Structure 1
Amino acid sequence: MSRQQLCRVSQRVLGEGSGGGAKVWAEIIKLSQGPNIVSDLGQGYPDFDGCLKAREAACEVIQGNARLNQYSPIPGTPGLKKALVDHWNKDSGIPAEARVDVDLNVLVVTSATEAIYAAMQAIIDPGDEVVIFEPFFPWYLPAVRMAGGIPVTQTLKPPGFAIDFDALEKSITEKTKLIVFNSPHNPTGHVASPEEISKLAELVIRKDLLCISDEVYEEFVFNPDMRHQRLAHEKGMASRTLTLGSASKVFSLTGWRVGWAFGPPDLIAAVSSMHAYSTYCAPTPFQEGTAAALRDLTSGPDSVVAKELAQIGSQFKENAHMLGEALASLGCSIIPPDGGYFLVCDVRGTGKTDVEFSKWMALEKGVICVPMSVFHNSEDAPDFLVRFAICKRHETISRAVEAITAPQT
């Protein structure tokens, strides 16, 4: 075999997707395709119709507007960019420095996942260190490494999953350039408190760092004593923060692949360049559908879309409660989510590890869940936490509850 044949695939690609976490993911996916599965609560996608306003508007464009079925401008359609800016600026309490301009501070991307990859390519040079909080959305880590960056992980510990600021500060070196922050958090459901947001902003400014704030779950905060708070709204942070959002999560339309980024002009321009080289533009009809839904949402709490989102949030909260009670009957300790798409439980009371429990749940109960160790990079990652998706119809959760609580045969 020639050297050329041996090296057909780049080393950076060979280095991704071959670890233990990837193998566990592959096993879980295979189990989810089994004939006896009654409820798939593994992957975080809704199994109900997404936002009606968005879907109707997209259908109208597809059927009746030839131009809007072609390429959009690289930064996004004018209609969606304006809708995004109006939605961001609607709060009169936003500091002047954090208000955004449609021509300078917003970019439409082909999903927030693409935004993460494009942002790392645009910001990170080889050798730069990037702090990531684990457990994390799995795409963060390869995005850092494929940009030549060095990931530095900081563990969020159960049951609160709050940032350990002493440990975070100790992890920052002269090579640190960027912190990746996510609230509401995937996979833990933690919503950062105002104190956490303030302390993180102070540290980022004092250490002269940049921050990616992944806020795709912003519309789903369950705890009535909490609210979603933007990191970029903290004093001094607008010029240092890329804020990511997504129609996938806000409007339950994961297949549309429409996301967005807000940030300072230089970072938006840099990410836009990488976006252009990657996908050029997000799907134009779906941009227009997203714009219609955003316009309605921005019009006020009594709008059709606002009421729809409130109902979905209530549904997710109830799903977490129902599922939690069922899992507790097995000896699991439940960690109620403050927001987001997921419920986490501690399975030590069952005598199983996270991987053992997930496989047992699939094979014996027909319910798919995910071991949280796949969302870690540290060798000493906890092996007793499991994640369940709650972004499902009531009927899907009910089937899972029935299966979980059924007597063992």
Structure 2
Amino acid sequence: MTSKLPNAQTSIFAVMSKMANENNAINLAQGFPDFDVAPDLIDRIHHYMQQGWNQYAPMPGVPALREVIAKKIDSTYHVDVSPDEVTITSGATQALFAAITAIVHAGDEVIFFDPAYDSYLPTIQLCGGIPININLDKKDFFIPWKEVEQKITNRTKLIIINTPHNPSGAILSADDIQELARLTRDKEIYVISDEVYEHLIYDGAEHCSVLKNEELRKKSVAIYSFGKTFHATGWKMGYTVAPGFLTDEIRKIHQFMVFSVNTATQCALADYLKEPNNYNYLPDFFQKKRDMLLAFMEPSRFEPIKCHGTYFQTYSYAGISDLPDREMAEWITKTHGVASIPLSPFYTDGSDNKQIRLCFAKGEETLRQAAKKLCQI
């Protein structure tokens, strides 16, 4: 049998988490919180289960949830979105797969930016698309727009952006969004904007959603995650927002992947999203954790790279070791008891800039103990 993904390997997240477990190490590798989901949200799910909401949901999603999402987008970004443009998915990764598959045909070129979330490349390949990867600035993780302009051809069909950016924590500015609009103007180029960390943005900055740009709004798919917002990554709940003609194509794929997702959880989220305080507290909450990790790590020899969003802090160890980043991450896990994620697996070309990523979505004592171990290096 010929593999469709001959170069695909076990995710670096799974590898490092397994190593953390085997070495009884503190796991700052995989991006999941170690604190509980809000009890009242759990109670609402239980309520709907007891009320009998346990069968298939409508394929696009429970209407009440799609309606409250549309209102949330309006109140947050001042953008008028119809509930008919919202599709509830089994996590953001499924949303990405459905959206990329809906847009990309064999031979289409897809521009994306490395380091990149690891589902982009294999999905493009499974669609027969031609991946065109562009490396972000290795220090600030900015998009080199001149290079983007040079890489756009008459075969370019899609550009994938990610803000706030995983794994670096960088964010796109309004100028970046304007430049993207300029480069795709009058071209049949679509945009997928991975915005799963939309509420995890710091230092008074604003999230520049692709939905806020009137020009891009007409040709873009924005993707979001309830798991990231409500500390429930295991629920695998997300959604897409796209104009009608793109939504129709996404749903054609979605219905044959999962058809629909957990009904009781959708109903509970519809209730929970009605209160903005249930998500508006997140920037301050996670900024305090970021600042806490930075403070705990200040005595270390690791050099922090500015993090403006997500719950990941990238560090350079270039002044500590010449080891390749994967070997460095493994050595730290085994000898110092802290698991991190090396950045080279996020690069198509395997670029190794001597950087590792730490997840700070953890309790204070966990961060303190991890930093104490890392400061001994």
Smaller-chain TM-score range?
Answer: over 0.9
Aligned to 1:101: 82
Tell me which of 179, 188, 194 is aligned to 2:159: 179
Letter in 1 for 2:256: Y
Out of 30, 47, 59, the residue aligned to residue 34 of structure 2 is 47
* Amino acid aligned to 2:43: E
* CA-CA distance at 1:281 after TM superposition: 0.7
Moved over 6 A (4+): none
- Please report how far the alpha carbon of residue 393 of structure 1 lies from its aligned counterpart in structure 2 after TM superposition: 1.5
Matched, 1:79 2:64: yes
Q: Which structure has the larger Rg? A: 1
Same amino acid, percent of matched pairs: 28
SS of alignment partner, residue 315 of structure 2 = strand
Q: CA deviation at 1:354?
A: 1.2
The equivalent position to 1:122 in structure 2, one of 102, 106, 127, is 102
Q: Deviations over 1:319-349 (max 9, x none)?
A: 44235425xx2x2221020010201111110
Equivalent residues of 2:305, 2:313 under 8 A apart: yes
Name the stretch that deviates more: 24-33 or 230-239: 24-33
> Matches of residues 8-407 of structure 1 in structure 2 within 5 Å?
10-13=2-5, 15-18=6-9, 22=10, 27-37=15-25, 39-62=26-49, 64-66=50-52, 68-91=53-76, 93-94=78-79, 99-103=80-84, 105-224=85-204, 226-297=205-276, 303=277, 305-306=278-279, 308-326=281-299, 329=300, 331-352=301-322, 353-379=324-350, 381-406=351-376
The answer (yes or no) to whether the contact 1:53–1:289 under 8 Å persists in 2 is: no
User: Letter of the aligned partner of 1:147 in structure 2?
Assistant: C
Cα root mean square deviation, aligned: 1.9
Q: Deviations over 1:283-328 (max 9, x none)?
A: 111112222221112xxxxx3x1464245323332344235425xx
SS at match of 1:296: coil
Structure 1 window deviating more from structure 2 (360-369 vs 396-405): it is: 396-405
* In structure 2, distance between residues paired with 1:273 and 1:41: 37
Give CA deviations for 1:36-71 in whole Å, capped at 9, x if unaligned.
31x100000111112334222112112x211x1111
Deviations 1:133-165 (A, max 9, x none): 000110111111111111110111132111100
- Counterparts of 1:307 and 1:137, CA distance in 2: 25
- Say if 1:292 and 1:164 are closer, same or farther in 2 by CA, change over 3 A: same
Report if aligned partners of 2:91, 2:225 keep a CA contact under 8 Å in 1: yes
Tell me if the contact between 1:51 and 1:293 (Cα under 8 Å) persists in the aligned partners. Answer: no
Report the Cα offset of residue 231 of structure 1: 1.2
SS of residue matched to 1:112? helix
Instruction: Give, as a single letter, the amino acid of the residue that structure 2 aligns with 1:33.
Output: N
Q: Distance in 1 between matches of 2:103 and 2:156?
A: 12
- The number of residues matched between the two structures is 376
Paired AA for residue 167 in structure 2: P
Q: Is the contact between residue 40 and residue 367 of structure 1 (CA under 8 Å) also seen in structure 2? A: yes
Q: Deviations over 1:243-294 (max 9, x none)?
A: 0001011111101111000011011111111111001111111112222221
Cα gap change, 1:403 to 1:84, in 2 (>3 Å) = same
For 1:203 and 1:216, the matched residues in 2 are separated by 24
Letter matched to residue 399 of structure 1: Q
Deviations 1:347-385 (A, max 9, x none): 110123312321121011100001100100025x13411
Is the Cα contact below 8 Å between 2:112 and 2:160 reproduced in 1? Answer: yes
TM-score between the two structures when normalised by the length of structure 1: 0.87
- Runs of 5+ consecutive residues of structure 1 not aligned to the other structure: 1-6, 298-302
Is the CA contact (8 Å cut-off) linking 1:322 and 1:401 kept in structure 2? no
User: Which whole-Å CA distance do the structure 1 matches of 2:132 and 2:344 have between them?
Assistant: 17
State the TM-score, normalizing by the size of structure 2: 0.94
Residue 315 of structure 2 aligns to which amino acid in structure 1?
C
Structure 2 segments unaligned to the other structure (5+ residues): none
User: Which secondary structure does the structure 2 equivalent of 1:33 belong to?
Assistant: helix
Measure, in 1, the Cα distance between the counterparts of 2:11 and 2:255.
32
Given that 1:214 and 1:243 are in contact with CA atoms closer than 8 Å, whether structure 2 keeps it comes out as: yes
